[in-house]
A = this chain, B = another copy of it.
Amino acid sequence: MPRAALVTRPLDVAALLREVQRPANGAEVLFVGTVRDAHEGRSVTGIDYSAYDAMASAELERLVEEASVRYATPDVVCEHRLGTLAVGDASVVIAVGHPRRAAAYDASRWVIEALKARVPIWKREHYADGSRAWVHHGR
């Protein structure tokens, strides 16, 4: 069944992969978003992720349900981590299992794009010079 969650612990990629593996599936695609050490030329040391928890959970759940219907597989799982993350930490994992690889890739891509467009989560970057700033996508 599709499942989504906001968590404050490190994401367990192997566990999320197992969750979408079924004998009918021939392909699993995992997307892992990680904190980069640079953004628009500035040196980044970490990111605070915060959310409108109740709505972000609901929106993320609606989103994996929609992906499940759209791509015809029950095996769509997404976890997003909140709190202060260091460079290299995984902020989001999307796991999709599907009988066919093309659909597994497409569903995975659809979930991350929809998440970035719709789910009320914000990030504030910490820079090497000690300053911090809220980051918008597509800015």
Contact = CB atoms under 8 A, between A and B. Distances in A.
A108 B109 CA distance: 12
- Copy number in the complex reads 2
Interface string A93-128: 000000101001100110010000000000000000
A75 to B, nearest CB: 11
A31 interface: yes
Contacts of A105: 31, 105, 108-109
Given A30-B32, A36-B99, 13 more contacts: A13-B14, A13-B17, A13-B30, A14-B14, A17-B30, A24-B37, A24-B38, A27-B32, A27-B34, A28-B34, A33-B101, A105-B105, A105-B108
